C-alpha cells in the first residue's frame, strides 16, 4: 500500500469509526486518573514525590527511560500508596528502531523489549515510543510505515506477554515529520492488530495538529491507553496560561477512557511547584466536570 492509499484508507476508515462511536455509549464509564512525570513533581526523593502526589489526589507517576536499575527504590516508594506507575516515557532511542542499519535496529528492538519487561514488572500501562524525531531518519513516511508494520507485531506479542503495551506517540510537525496526528497512529495500531500495540494522545501536540480534538480522541479510542497534559502555547502547567482541555476531555468521556492523564510540561519561571502542581490538578478536575456530555 502506498502512502496516499494509506492516508486515504485512514481518513475513510476512521471517519466511519467516528460516526459509529459518537452515536454509541461507551462500554465503561470514563474517569479522570491524574498522574505526573516524575521530573515535574517537587520532592527531594521519589518517596517524597509520591507522598506529594498522594496528598494532591493523583494516582499515577510516569517515569523516564527504562528505570530497571531503580526497581527496588520504585517499589519501596509506591508501597502502601494508591500511586501506580502510569507509563515509561522511553522516546525514540535516536531513531534506532527505524534505522536502515540492521545492527542499530536490532539493538533498538532489544532495548525496547527490555523496557517492556520493566514496564510489566512495575504494572505500567505501556512504554511510550516515538519512531523518530527530525534528523533521526531520512526515510520517507511510506518506508517508515513498512518498517513499523514489520517490527511492531513481534514487539506487540512480547508486550502482551509482559502485560503491558508499546504506546505510539504522535508529535507535532516541529518535532517530527512522521506520525503527527492521532488517527495516523490509530491506523498503524489497526493494521498491526495486537493488544500489545496501542497509542497515546498529547494535548500539547493535539492543539497544534488536530482541528477537532474530540474526533481525534475518538479515532484513537480502541487503542488509547495514555494521555499527556500540557497547555498548547507554552507547554506549561494547566492554569498557568489560558487553555481549555474540555474538547479533548469530551472525547475521553465518549470512549470511556479510564487510563492516566499525566502532566508532561514545564512550569512558568518564578512560580512554586508546591503550589502550582496541585493547582494544575484542580484546574483539570474543574475542566473534567465541564466536559460532561
Distance (Å, whole) CA 264 – CA 231: 10
Residue 20: Cβ within 10 Å count:
9
Lowest mean pLDDT among 19-28, 79-88, 96-105, 176-185: 19-28
Name the pLDDT band for 22 (thresholds 50, 70, 90): very low
Which domains are present in the chain? Answer: 3-290 (3.20.20.150)
The model's pLDDT over 234-244, given as tens digits with 9 standing for 90+, comes to: 999 999 999 99
Asked if residues 284 and 229 have their Cβ atoms less than 8 Å apart, the reply is yes
State mean pLDDT over 6-34. 60
C-alpha cell at 255: 470512549
Evaluate if residue 62 carries a pLDDT over 50: yes
DSSP 116-174: HHHHHHHT-S-EEE-S--TTS--S-HHHHHHHHHHHHHHHHHHHHHTT--EEE----TT
Confidence of residue 25 (pLDDT cuts 50, 70, 90): low
The confidence band for 21, taking pLDDT boundaries of 50, 70 and 90, is very low
d(CA 251, CA 285): 16
How much is the pLDDT for 14?
52
pLDDT at 146 over 90: yes
Amino acid at each position: 500500500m502506498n502512502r496516499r492509499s494509506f492516508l486515504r484508507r485512514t481518513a475513510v476508515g476512521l471517519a466511519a469509526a467516528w460516526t459509529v462511536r459518537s452515536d454509541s455509549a461507551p462500554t465503561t464509564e470514563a474517569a479522570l486518573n491524574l498522574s505526573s512525570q516524575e521530573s515535574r513533581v517537587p520532592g527531594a526523593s521519589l518517596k517524597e514525590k509520591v507522598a506529594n502526589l498522594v496528598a494532591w489526589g493523583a494516582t499515577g507517576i510516569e517515569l523516564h527511560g527504562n528505570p530497571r536499575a531503580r526497581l527496588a527504590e520504585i517499589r519501596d516508594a509506591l508501597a502502601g500508596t494508591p500511586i501506580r506507575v502510569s507509563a515509561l516515557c522511553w522516546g525514540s532511542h535516536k531513531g534506532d528502531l527505524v534505522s536502515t542499519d540492521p545492527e542499530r535496529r536490532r539493538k533498538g528492538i532489544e532495548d525496547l523489549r527490555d523496557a517492556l519487561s520493566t514496564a510489566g514488572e512495575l504494572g505500567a500501562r505501556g512504554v511510550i515510543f516515538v519512531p523518530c524525531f527530525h534528523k533521526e531518519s531520512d526515510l520517507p513516511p511510506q518506508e517508515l510505515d513498512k518498517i513499523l508494520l514489520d517490527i511492531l507485531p513481534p514487539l506487540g506479542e512480547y508486550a502482551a506477554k509482559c502485560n503491558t503495551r508499546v504506546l505510539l506517540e504522535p508529535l507535532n510537525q516541529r518535532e517530527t515529520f512522521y506520525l503527527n496526528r492521532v488517527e495516523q497512529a490509530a491506523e498503524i495500531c489497526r493494521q498491526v492488530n495486537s493488544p500489545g500495540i496501542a497509542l497515546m494522545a498529547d494535548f500539547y501536540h493535539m492543539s497544534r495538529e488536530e482541528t477537532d480534538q474530540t474526533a481525534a480522541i475518538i479515532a484513537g479510542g480502541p487503542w488509547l491507553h495514555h494521555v499527556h497534559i500540557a497547555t498548547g502555547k507554552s507547554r506549561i502547567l494547566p492554569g498557568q496560561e489560558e487553555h481549555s482541555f474540555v474538547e479533548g476531555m469530551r472525547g475521553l468521556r465518549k470512549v470511556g477512557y479510564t487510563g492516566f492523564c499525566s502532566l508532561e510540561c514545564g512550569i512558568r519561571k518564578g512560580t512554586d511547584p508546591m503550589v502550582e502542581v496541585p493547582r494544575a490538578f484542580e484546574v483539570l478536575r474543574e475542566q473534567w466536570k465541564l466536559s460532561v456530555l
